[in-house]
Amino acid sequence: MRRLASLLLLLLAAGPLLVPERLAEEDREAVRSAPTGEHPLGTDALGRDNLYRYLRGMRMSLSGACAAAVVATGIGLLAGFLLSRLGRAGMAFWGPALDTFQSMPWYLLVFLVRAWTPLDTGPEQLTVILFTMLAALGWAPPARTVAAACRQLRQEPWAAFARASGMGGAQMFRRHYWPHLVPLARVHFLMLTPAILLAESSLGLLGLGVPDSAPSLGSSLTDLLQPGARWWEAAPLLLLLTAVLSLQTISRRPTDESKRT
């Protein structure tokens, strides 16, 4: 199942490259047309092919979510390692601070920042702003997990020997902690990616996501909100579910799958 999920994600990421080039062109003579041999999923109000637009939006949203998850996981790793070096006194303050950060309704702030963005901001800048904000909200969970893992690793005999040998914090992290933290980083990346993907799609449904001039999954989902929406315009929702379920399947441990079979 994990190989199948990886293959599906690869196909979703390479989707626009797998369709004919003619679908990238606007067809002004076929505006909001039904599915045909020329346009398998019909066209939108501007004559753009829906299949190509949906696949392009899927690739953009998936790549943006992966990039934001990498940034959030990287910040969480660094923050968690630094927090683990503060000791009990430091965690007595920063532990509740992390809990408070995670409990705050930060998505309301995302809505406000996106709504206050000037109208003349380009689609590329809006995309960067959106995924940067989402990455800034995702670092706390990996930071807490990494801090707990690093505190446990510091109690190991080899860690005490390395500190007694005069090894610095950066060298300790690179040589000794990092191999143990890679599995944690992988899990948090696979957990954050679908969460950011769903957040971007939700913002797109509210009209606060990536603009339609730079298609994303969120902007494609707005087709379902238009008057007279047709069944084939639910394809972005199917793509979203496929991506999220594939990421969740990959994040499972092999032992979990073996128990199910």
Reported as a pLDDT band with limits 50, 70 and 90, residue 72 is very high
What would the DSSP string read from start to end of 102-160?
A: HHS-HHHHHHHHHHHS-TT--HHHHHHHHHHHHHHTSSHHHHHHHHHHHHHHHTSHHHH
Q: How far is CA 144 from CA 42, 75, 79, 81, 222, in A?
A: 47, 11, 8, 9, 36
Query: For the chain, how far is it from start to end, CA to CA, in angstroms?
Result: 11
- Please state, for a pLDDT cut of 90, what percent of the chain lies above it: 10
Whether the pLDDT of residue 236 is over 70: the answer is: yes
Whether the pLDDT of residue 189 is over 90: the answer is: yes
pLDDT per position as a tens digit, 111-125: 777 777 776 777 788
Whether the pLDDT of residue 152 is over 90: the answer is: no
Token reading at 108: 């309301």
Mean pLDDT, the chain, integer: 81
Whether the pLDDT of residue 254 is over 70: the answer is: no
pLDDT at 123: 77
Reported as a pLDDT band with limits 50, 70 and 90, residue 260 is very low
Q: Which of 141, 70, 132, 133 is nearest to 103 (CA)?
A: 141
Whether the pLDDT of residue 245 is over 80: the answer is: yes
Mean pLDDT, range 71-97, rounded to an integer: 81
Reported as a pLDDT band with limits 50, 70 and 90, residue 253 is low
Token reading at 196: 């950011």
pLDDT at 257: 45
Whether the pLDDT of residue 196 is over 70: the answer is: yes
Whether the pLDDT of residue 148 is over 80: the answer is: yes
Q: Which CATH class is domain 2-260?
A: mainly alpha
Mean pLDDT, range 228-250, rounded to an integer: 87
The model's pTM = 0.82
